């Protein structure tokens, strides 16, 4: 460890924070591919300066590029895959409008700082630290930065899965939870849309001629929300509703968007079938339901337990107790864990307020988390 070599560079939390600030102040809303690529350019240049091998896949459908970098040592054999995303849920202008960069005591604020630019930077810093120290890791390390994780990684999922199959371990830089806990299990996520098409009519003089799409969707909302089963760990949520053209018109179209969270593959299959099997109550209204499970459940297995035990021992060396948890939120770690590849998630900075206007990290978590990353990269075999 560094303490055994007085000439080795020290882990500097202030330097880490300066680097995080540079990344946070490049605002990267998911649907602005050019904005996301501006940060990808910075990451690419930083990695290149450290001797990393660079591969960049052009984005599609308006999203940013996929950036892959690899340590110059270790060859092409299976190693460690570090997964990060560069996009955030926050629109451009968030720094000025509601969450300017600032430091208040132990809290450091900024849009996307917690989810997940601080974590992505911590992993980069660990690599930088190893290069500065003249050390190589036993396994090659590949860093993949994707541009659209916040909406389910529609253009990068296949890339992530193909890359994960080449590696022994996956480490995900999503933020830590509840006082620094990492994630060893997540619910799967499904996204669905239901569209009802009825018949428009004047709401006063010809009401009987109409067939209300909103009325049909109202019934569907109750059916979908009624599928929530807390005892089975299943939640269904209708989060968006749109329809109608005027208060005096029987609405001919209405749409809802549905979020599903499930803990096991069996329940994923069951609930996907139930939602896709919904039918219209009114025979004169057409109902179309589309969608699928877009993130499989991430379940803690023996491989993940073994990897967690290793990480816990490493953190004990660094000086803190590592704990794990299961969470309802999805991430790209769902894809890799479902492939049977040992995956640890939530290895980023501790903080609070993911996706919120008060998003923040705790400065005190930066140094120990950076040391954790360094030791993980140089001890995994």
- The token duo for 349 is 């900075």
In the structure, what pLDDT confidence band is assigned to residue 4 with cuts at 50, 70 and 90?
A: very low
CB contact at 8 A, 248 and 202? yes
In the structure, what pLDDT confidence band is assigned to residue 7 with cuts at 50, 70 and 90?
A: low
How remote is the C-alpha of 357 from its chain's centroid? Answer: 18
In the structure, what pLDDT confidence band is assigned to residue 52 with cuts at 50, 70 and 90?
A: very high
| Model pLDDT, residue 323 | 98
pLDDT, one tens digit per residue, over 350-361 is 999 999 999 999
In the structure, what pLDDT confidence band is assigned to residue 3 with cuts at 50, 70 and 90?
A: very low
CATH topology of domain 2-186+298-379: Aminopeptidase (3.40.630)
| Model pLDDT, residue 1 | 44
CA distances in angstroms from 355 to 112, 115, 198, listed in the order given: 7, 7, 36
What is the distance between the alpha carbons of residues 95 and 381, in angstroms, rounded to a whole number? Answer: 41
Q: Has domain 188-295 been given CATH number 3.30.360.10?
A: no
Tell me the β-bridge partners of 82: 143, 171
Q: What does the mean pLDDT of the chain come to? A: 96
Q: Which residue has the higher pLDDT, 343 or 7?
A: 343
| Model pLDDT, residue 9 | 87
| Model pLDDT, residue 163 | 97
Domain ranges of the chain: 2-186+298-379, 188-295
pLDDT above 90 (res 77): no
pLDDT, one tens digit per residue, over 311-330 is 999 999 999 999 999 998 89
What whole-number percentage of the chain has pLDDT above 70?
98
Averaged over 164-191, what is the pLDDT? 97
Helix intervals (H) in the chain = 13-24, 33-49, 94-97, 118-133, 157-164, 213-225, 265-276, 302-318, 333-338, 366-379
Count, in order, helices (H) and strands (E) of the chain: 10, 18
């Amino acid at each position: 460890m560094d303490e055994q070599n007085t000439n080795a560079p020290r882990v500097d939390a202030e330097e880490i924070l300066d680097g995080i600030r540079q990344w946070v102040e490049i605002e990267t809303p998911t649907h602005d591919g050019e904005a996301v690529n501006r940060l990808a350019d910075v990451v690419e240049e930083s990695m290149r300066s450290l001797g990393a091998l660079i591969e960049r896949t052009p984005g599609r459908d308006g999203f940013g590029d996929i950036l892959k970098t690899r340590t110059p040592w270790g060859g092409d054999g299976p190693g460690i895959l570090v997964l990060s995303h560069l996009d955030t849920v926050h629109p451009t202008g968030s720094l000025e409008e509601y969450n300017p960069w600032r430091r208040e005591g132990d809290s450091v604020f900024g849009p996307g700082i917690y989810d997940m630019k601080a974590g992505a930077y911590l992993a980069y810093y660990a690599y930088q630290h190893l290069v500065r120290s003249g050390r190589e890791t036993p396994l090659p390390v590949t860093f993949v930065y994707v541009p659209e994780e916040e909406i389910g990684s529609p253009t990068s999922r296949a890339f992530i899965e193909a890359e994960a199959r080449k590696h022994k371990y996956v480490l995900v830089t999503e933020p830590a939870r509840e006082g620094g806990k990492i994630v060893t299990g997540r619910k799967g996520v499904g996204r669905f849309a239901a569209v009802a098409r009825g018949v428009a009519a004047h709401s006063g003089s010809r009401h009987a001629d109409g067939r209300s799409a909103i009325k049909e969707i109202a019934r569907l909302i109750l059916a979908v929300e009624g599928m929530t089963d807390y005892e089975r760990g299943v939640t269904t949520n209708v989060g968006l509703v749109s329809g109608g053209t005027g208060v005096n018109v029987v609405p001919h179209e209405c749409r809802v968007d549905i979020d599903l969270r499930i803990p096991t593959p069996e329940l994923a299959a069951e609930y996907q079938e139930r939602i896709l099997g919904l039918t219209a109550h009114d025979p004169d209204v057409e109902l179309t339901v589309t969608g699928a499970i877009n993130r499989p459940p991430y379940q803690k297995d023996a491989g993940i337990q073994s990897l967690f035990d290793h990480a816990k021992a490493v953190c004990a060396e660094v000086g803190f107790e590592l704990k794990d948890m299961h969470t309802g939120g999805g991430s790209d770690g769902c894809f890799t864990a479902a492939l049977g590849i040992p995956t640890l998630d939530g290895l980023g900075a501790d903080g609070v307020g993911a996706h919120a206007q008060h998003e923040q990290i705790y400065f005190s978590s930066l140094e120990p988390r950076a040391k954790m990353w360094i030791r993980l990269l140089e001890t995994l075999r």
